[in-house]
Structure 1
């Protein structure tokens, strides 16, 4: 009997990828429509809250931000959000991305219809009433919910549902900002935790579908303009790198401050439903000091990039926006973090740009990329995002320098990002580092025990029981006359045979005739060996050559040895030349 071999690849994988890509077309369209609807709801909430009339036209809060309403409107909006969270779904609290990550990693990528409906409504109320947030976090959650809900209508695996959830999130982000490539990179760096064709292709399809819809639904062209000519040189690259390092420190401080404030709200002797309203009091006070901190503030980002904001105004915006955003987000209200991070990073860059060569707008853009990279641990996403926002590809080296240094400093200062810290506080720790599986680099022949001791298929059961009682190893392969494995016997088998009392003269081969052994070739990657051992609940597996002859044996502990070699490569320092 020839040993049974594990299947190395799923021949339907390509077909599944095409099915997911087809579904991603629908999800991309749904994400773009949801983004359009969210922006219209934000405009409606803004007009009702600040101007007292029903309109879907985009308006600024600043002209209406005077008198008692600056304090009352944010508090009223936050009270509505608290009620929605308590009696609707508490999943609408927060900025959306950590919740999406948690659903992906620990919730089998399932989001409820209630979240898909309530999250954009709560975000519209929050931003429209003056909450210092952007629309990107809520639309990522909403787009992800669309992908997840569609996936739940089909017979899909959890990994395939994850792909469609992330595809919806990428589509929503693309529709809001017009940044399809950055959305794809965000999916890879922050949400997918893998880079496989099965996952990347549908995400790309969804993002490209959303960007195709964007000119018809929202707007065409870059979201912001950077009109000044760019003076790129080695000097500007060095300055941008220094700026990124400084912003990395600031981003780490902001992340620490956010969770300290969140801890403070948790210590309050009132139900969490009231926390957003308490935080909104600080938002209102901040609005009295500088009305520009209210709402998403995309016009402020444009002024920073254009270099038209005075230094004193930039400093005021920077301080007040940071305070109201940290308090509001720490209170557990609904809103995104990306727009505030862009504004704070842009303000820091613009302040530095007043004393550095290259122009204020260039350093404001670099500061935006550095703040996003350091806070979210997504350096590639941040660099490409900044370029796509403005359509200025020639700025990529400068923003990349700031993005990478900001990321490097933040990694050294803090263990987790502003996104993963929230998940870690719920007892779920994860890493955003990507590497090749160490088991995939090793072949079965490298970790097997070669030429293992074996038992003959003709050995009587009585002799086998006596041998196993005092044998030095727990189990042994049984081979036929041509040295091909036909099964494995262990001490537990000997115990069972003593109880069942088969004829002592019965050959082992007769007892194992209905139990074909699972074996692998020596060239098979160990990660596939591990998968097969797990699937068949095996403690040991035979290794055979092309003729089916037994040449080795792999136990579960051998898998750990393969990983220990990788750890040695990571930590051992060796010098080969003097």
Structure 2
């Protein structure tokens, strides 16, 4: 029988990660994907500029210009978003329904449900639909569509290669993060966004390709879009007093409440549209009518709004603009996004958060121009996306306001806590949950990695020898087998279902399932006749996670455990029931409360006699 070999002998490992040429291949593939993601981001921004120039200014131009930068006829402001919604509805109906939405849930669904497979036409239709939506006045951002487009580039390339689903996921997320990094010149925030929202793991096998793609995209971005911050803010030698740091908690809580409100608004709108007695193809046009009405009230709420965000973050926005953006942008964004149109959430969230902070700046003590607007931006991003670290880093990379690190951490965390307290899921994951998929974004140590096989195994299982006659006494087999330590939580051992077969030297030579002992074939007379000669065996030092993986690969529910020093000698028996011991320990640590250093224990210790 082949002796088991620990994983550490088979592979060179980095943490729980196997460093293989396959990973280096995925990293190498991620580099051109990152460069293509940057080109896609550049093309999308130019396309948005073109549509905006044609619709609102009647000219050809490719630079980003705000729809509300100049006065327009009321009919144009009202009907342009409706026309854009009609085009998007037709593209979704006859092109691909997957272009509907703001991009992030669709990317998550592709990873979770479709094994990171994206249709090639989505890579074309998604950016075009987003350009039409934003260019005709939609109050959306370009980042959601570029996430989906960059992800589609990575997925399409991966689908042409012989790769696993995990490798496809790494390349898809690499493309998505690359597009984000190129759009906002925010490499670190894009990596964090990938980790917190798309990868569902923090492993070198996926982390390394993402960083490679983001690095390539950021380098390619410089000649295409420039290398400076999107919204530069100069704070000089900033000093934040303790009182103002405390007010950042208040700003964070208020930002979290606003995040809860706009998230609820999006899904109330989505539920309302779902009850309309018209086909969903017409919903974006109805959403466009809402946008047009809002544009008549506050024209600068239309479009992606980078110019408005810049004014808010530098403290140049008037109070009228601050109030108009906070109310009108929040309403038309939340209500129209529920129609299933195409557009991202980050830029609108930036604008809404910055306007909230700018309004708070009229109430809180003055620290520096734009200080409270940046705090509000980080708070609302942390609350809406439920990604506090991403909110902090995004705010810093967008503005290069590095001295604001601590205030942003305080505000973003307070908003995250408020949102998590009041809302089960974020605007990015609620849609996935509504489609029936459970999505967990909590990072924790796998409890199956804490325990090893020899800590939970049956320490003295009943064994047989090859010459034992068949059938074996059922009454003997029905007895329970003692297990080491009684198991986690004192669980009794189950009835033994697999019996190791040993020779005179206690060397394991095979195993026999219980059913073959009680109901052997007609021609079998001894245990040796039904024995499995080369069974799966588990090393005593293997973690329960490794055991579970090997059980799944071999489709078995039990295996003998062999000694650490002598891989031919039986040490015990482990079954699928023992794999629950890690979970039981995890539950006990979470729910069992005790007072190890309580007063009563100290008194007992003090009263105990001292040995002579």
TM value normalised by structure 1: 0.96
- Map 1:104-253 to 2 at 5 A: 104-229=111-236, 230-253=238-261
Structure-2 separation of matches of 1:466 and 1:374: 61
Shift of residue 146 of structure 1? 0.5
Secondary structure (helix, strand or coil) at the match of 2:329 reads helix
Structure-2 separation of matches of 1:33 and 1:306: 29
Cα 1:50–1:2 shift into 2, 3 Å: closer
Secondary structure (helix, strand or coil) at the match of 2:370 reads helix
Q: Contact (CA 8 Å) 2:498, 2:559: kept in 1 or not? A: no
- Show the counterpart of 1:289: 297
- Show the counterpart of 1:312: 320
Secondary structure (helix, strand or coil) at the match of 2:179 reads helix
278, 284, 290: which is aligned to 1:276? 284
Shift of residue 469 of structure 1? 7.0
Secondary structure (helix, strand or coil) at the match of 1:487 reads strand
- Show the counterpart of 1:43: 49
Structure-1 separation of matches of 2:4 and 2:540: 14
584, 592, 606: which is aligned to 1:572? 592
Cα 1:469–1:526 shift into 2, 3 Å: closer
Moved more, 155-164 or 60-69: 60-69
412, 417, 422: which is aligned to 1:413? 422
- Show the counterpart of 1:371: 380
Work out whether 1:440 is the aligned partner of 2:449.
Answer: yes
Q: Contact (CA 8 Å) 1:468, 1:491: kept in 2 or not? A: no
Shift of residue 263 of structure 1? 0.2
- Show the counterpart of 1:23: 29
Structure-2 separation of matches of 1:59 and 1:306: 19
TM value normalised by structure 2: 0.91
Shift of residue 50 of structure 1? 1.0
Secondary structure (helix, strand or coil) at the match of 2:144 reads helix
- Show the counterpart of 2:462: 453
- Map 1:389-404 to 2 at 5 A: 389-404=398-413
Structure-2 separation of matches of 1:239 and 1:530: 49
Structure-1 separation of matches of 2:180 and 2:5: 45
- Show the counterpart of 1:492: 515
State the superposition RMSD in angstroms. 1.7
Secondary structure (helix, strand or coil) at the match of 1:299 reads helix
Q: Contact (CA 8 Å) 2:286, 2:339: kept in 1 or not? A: yes
- Show the counterpart of 1:555: 575
Secondary structure (helix, strand or coil) at the match of 1:155 reads coil
Shift of residue 235 of structure 1? 2.1
Shift of residue 6 of structure 1? 7.0
Shift of residue 287 of structure 1? 0.5
290, 308, 327: which is aligned to 2:335? 327
Structure-2 separation of matches of 1:90 and 1:470: 58
Q: Contact (CA 8 Å) 2:562, 2:570: kept in 1 or not? A: yes
Moved more, 108-117 or 348-357: 348-357
Shift of residue 54 of structure 1? 2.5
Structure-2 separation of matches of 1:65 and 1:468: 90
- Show the counterpart of 1:385: 394
Q: Deviations over 1:230-258 (max 9, x none)?
A: 33232222111210111111111111121
Shift of residue 360 of structure 1? 4.7
Q: Contact (CA 8 Å) 2:154, 2:172: kept in 1 or not? A: yes
Structure-1 separation of matches of 2:252 and 2:514: 63
Structure-2 separation of matches of 1:299 and 1:327: 23
Q: Deviations over 1:427-484 (max 9, x none)?
A: 111111101111011111111110111112221334x366777666433221122212
Secondary structure (helix, strand or coil) at the match of 2:584 reads helix
- Show the counterpart of 1:530: 548
Cα 1:466–1:431 shift into 2, 3 Å: closer
Structure-2 separation of matches of 1:408 and 1:161: 33
Q: Contact (CA 8 Å) 2:235, 2:401: kept in 1 or not? A: no
Q: Deviations over 1:260-312 (max 9, x none)?
A: 11100000000000001011111001101110010000111101011111223
515, 528, 553: which is aligned to 1:509? 528
Q: Contact (CA 8 Å) 1:84, 1:122: kept in 2 or not? A: yes
Q: Deviations over 1:135-157 (max 9, x none)?
A: 01000110000111111111111
